[in-house]
Structure 1
Amino acid sequence: MAYVISDACVSCGSCEGECPVGAIAAGDGQYVIDANTCIDCGSCAGCCPTGAISAE
């Protein structure tokens, strides 16, 4: 089960640097998580200032 980023994302980029496998990238207006690369560690969710990241 991969993590997902909701519309609450403000594109601050804090999650991208926290991902140990590089599954997060800038998308169209917000960041996105590649479900095939995500290892479900939750590092991104813990650092998101808006709480936009959650388990799918």
Structure 2
Amino acid sequence: MSTYEIGAFEALEWAWNVLRTEDTENKAKATTQIRDMLFKLGSGTQVDFKQSLA
């Protein structure tokens, strides 16, 4: 695993922890997006982080 992938995983883990502690309207949608991204990273799928999540 490259350093970049580890950094991305840690960033997603941080976002996950923020969502758990904050009450937001789009919490379910954001949680699903983060979970999906963690799955992609864990399965070795190439991810373009320059592309924004819609």
**Structure having the larger proportion of residues in strand:** 1
**Structure having the larger proportion of residues in helix:** 2
Which TM class, normalised by the smaller chain length? under 0.3
> How high is the TM-score relative to the length of structure 1?
0.27
The higher-RCO structure (CA 8 Å, 6+ apart) is 1
